[in-house]
Amino acid sequence: MMRQTSGVRLEARVDQPVLEMQHITKRFFDVTVLDDVTLDVHAGEVHALVGENGAGKSTLMKILGGEYRPDGGTVVLDGAPVRFHHPRQALAHGIGVVHQEFTLLPERTVAENVLLGREPRGRFGVDRRAMESTTAALLAELKLTGVSPRTLVRQLSVAQQHGVEIAKALSYRPRILVLDEPTAALTQDEVGALFDRVRSLVAGGPAVLYISHRLTEIFDLAHRVTVLKDGRLVRTLDVAATTAPELVQLMVGRHGTVPDRPATPREPGPVLLSACGLHAAGVHGVDLELRSGEIVGLAGLDGSGRTGLVEALAGASAVRAGEVRVTGRRVRLRSPRAAIRAGIAYLTADRKSEGLVLPLTAADNGLLVRRAIGGPVRRLLPELARKVGLPATVLGRDVRLLSGGNQQKVVLAKWLATGARVYLFDEPTRGIDVGAKSAVHELIRELADEGAAVLLISSDLPEVLGLSDRVLVMRHGQVAGTLPPTADEEDVMLLATGTAAPVKATT
């Protein structure tokens, strides 16, 4: 059982909610990402929002912050309905949002960032003394020591930059402050300092909506917690009346219901790719082996290091330490081209901005990498199209005009054309329909059956568990444990959230 572990929790107020989000629905094209979600927040309360990747947490907060408009439902402040068409309107109503990704200008000072666009004016233009005095007061309010209003943002640590983001939000004197994954890049001491600031803030009356995958933080800081699952409200609970395993079960929503497990396990062959002591952006000392004929799932929450690991293996980000071997030979993956020549294919999560050249035809996209590395292309395309299930009638069309499923098949064809032995798939079925998903699943299995090694990232845990021969679970840039194909979603989430003790990682 996980309860509050440090600090003093403040008693939340029980008067009329300062915020109510009633029956919120949001759709993107034909996909419903929020479905009838209701949430209320009181002044002086830290209200946590949790859920698996893709549960709808950030979308709900973007509606609150005026970045998205809901397709249904109402936002109510102090009993009065409001409707925002721009983030400035949300700010004017006292709603401040601190996103996980910083929005600061690195070449400007702290004061210039905090009061950007609202600089106090004097007789001769910007009153820098007033601007720096106002910023200094905000920094002192947050107990953000060691930061001067005159310091350039690029000279600050990540924790200090985060403090500046909060100071910027507080400069609007919000009544509701949204913190989205605020501790993702902080040390334990820095987390403690942030918590002190949040407790001090809510003691003065504002409410805080706190999004985090780290359940220990929820029990350390929050009064209530709301669980979302697949865009729907599961439950809102008092933190003091629940436990971490109960939250995990609510987030997962089911026990062991994973589709399409193979009837008999595959027998893996020799090691095709290995990494030893790998350090890269967001990755801290990872060891792994990928064998011929196996699918290895890579699970973890946002920010756990999954994408950082595959980017390093694909030559898309620098390997800072450690070594990578392909078929036993050490390789230096200094660029994507080097990885491709080593027999590694990397299907990125964002097909439109990173996987395709949208003005080109499907045929040109399918042969793009093959041509770049100088391989023969004659008579190759029809066979590739057949293998990925891409209709021949679409090959001459601009890829931007194709459905999401057919676009993904073009990306798959592009990498099959390289003849790779190792495939790194990052969210290969994101944003495609059920029929296209089944085709991608079948192709992944065929690659393994033909002797390739596949490393599969997916936020859809049933997909990972249903396809994989084993699952590596990452947390804080490291492998927290390796699970067998008989594991269920709850096993994964317990490791991913740090609720379960780390399992000695085996390759």
* 403 within domain boundaries: yes
Average pLDDT of the residues in 129-153: 89
Domain termination residue (choose one: 148, 173, 198) = 173
pLDDT attached to residue 290:
96
Residue 456, domain extent = 271-496
- The DSSP letter of residue 421 is S
Average pLDDT of the residues in 17-35: 90
In terms of domains, do 166 and 191 share one?
Answer: no
Q: Report d(CA 111, CA 89) in Å as an integer.
A: 23
Q: Which of the four pLDDT bands, split at 50, 70 and 90, describes residue 461?
A: confident
Average pLDDT of the residues in 409-415: 91
Q: Report d(CA 126, CA 119) in Å as an integer.
A: 6
Strand ranges (DSSP E) for 91-140?
Answer: 95-98, 121-122, 125-126
pLDDT attached to residue 308:
92
pLDDT attached to residue 267:
82
Does pLDDT of 64 surpass 90? yes
pLDDT tens digits, one per residue of 90-132: 989 999 988 877 789 999 999 999 999 889 998 888 999 999 9
Q: How many domains does the chain have?
A: 3
Q: Which of the four pLDDT bands, split at 50, 70 and 90, describes residue 185?
A: low
In terms of domains, do 283 and 390 share one?
Answer: yes
Q: Which residue has the higher pLDDT, 262 or 368?
A: 368
Phi, psi of 297 (to 5 degrees): -80, 145
Q: Side-chain half-sphere of 323: how many Cα atoms within 13 Å?
A: 6
Per the CB < 8 A criterion, the answer to whether 496 and 475 are in contact is yes
Domain termination residue (choose one: 253, 286, 316) = 253
In terms of domains, do 388 and 442 share one?
Answer: yes
Does pLDDT of 504 surpass 60? no
- Judging by beta carbons within 10 Å of its beta carbon (0-12, 13-18, 19+), is residue 32 exposed, middle or buried? middle
In terms of domains, do 207 and 330 share one?
Answer: no
pLDDT attached to residue 431:
66
Query: Which range has the worst mean pLDDT, 237-241, 245-249, 452-456, 500-504?
Result: 500-504
Query: CATH no. for residue 55?
Result: 3.40.50.300
Tell me the range of 27-31, 45-49, 399-403 where mean pLDDT is highest: 45-49
* 504 within domain boundaries: no
Average pLDDT of the residues in 214-234: 91
In terms of domains, do 31 and 180 share one?
Answer: yes
In terms of domains, do 384 and 278 share one?
Answer: yes
Angle at CA of residue 395, ends 394 and 396, nearest 5°: 95
In terms of domains, do 179 and 157 share one?
Answer: no
Average pLDDT of the residues in 389-403: 85
Q: Side-chain half-sphere of 386: how many Cα atoms within 13 Å?
A: 5
pLDDT attached to residue 439:
83
* 86 within domain boundaries: yes
pLDDT attached to residue 132:
94
pLDDT tens digits, one per residue of 298-316: 998 877 899 999 999 999 9
Considering only the C-alpha atoms of the chain, give the largest distance between any 2 of them, rounded to a whole number of Å: 80
* pTM, rounded to two decimals: 0.62
Average pLDDT, the chain: 86
pLDDT attached to residue 255:
40
* 366 within domain boundaries: yes
Q: Which of the four pLDDT bands, split at 50, 70 and 90, describes residue 434?
A: low
pLDDT attached to residue 459:
78
In terms of domains, do 305 and 365 share one?
Answer: yes
* 31 within domain boundaries: yes
pLDDT tens digits, one per residue of 233-255: 999 999 999 988 888 888 877 44
In terms of domains, do 181 and 165 share one?
Answer: no
What is the percent of the chain where pLDDT is above 90?
47
* 24 within domain boundaries: yes
Encode 178-228 in three state secondary structure.
Answer: EEECCCCCCCHHHHHHHHHHHHHHHHCCCEEEEECCCHHHHHHHCCEEEEE
Q: Report d(CA 72, CA 95) in Å as an integer.
A: 20
pLDDT attached to residue 9:
45
* 377 within domain boundaries: yes
Provide the 3-class DSSP secondary structure of residue 144: coil
Does pLDDT of 68 surpass 90? yes
In terms of domains, do 90 and 129 share one?
Answer: no
Domain termination residue (choose one: 151, 173, 195) = 173
Dihedral (C-alpha) 50, 51, 52, 58: value to the nearest 10 degrees? -80
- The DSSP letter of residue 351 is I
* 408 within domain boundaries: yes
Dihedral (C-alpha) 463, 465, 468, 474: value to the nearest 10 degrees? 100
- Judging by beta carbons within 10 Å of its beta carbon (0-12, 13-18, 19+), is residue 74 exposed, middle or buried? middle
Average pLDDT of the residues in 210-238: 91
pLDDT attached to residue 7:
45
Using alpha carbons, list the distances in angstroms from residue 184 to 99, 154, 302, 311, 360: 11, 19, 9, 19, 38
- Look up residue 225 and give its two tokens: 């917690």
Q: Which residue has the higher pLDDT, 101 or 222?
A: 222
Among residues 199, 220, 255, 272, the alpha carbon closest in space to that of 422 is found at 272
In terms of domains, do 297 and 410 share one?
Answer: yes
Q: Which of the four pLDDT bands, split at 50, 70 and 90, describes residue 5?
A: very low
How far is Cα of residue 361 from the mean position of the Cα atoms in its chain? 31
In terms of domains, do 284 and 396 share one?
Answer: yes
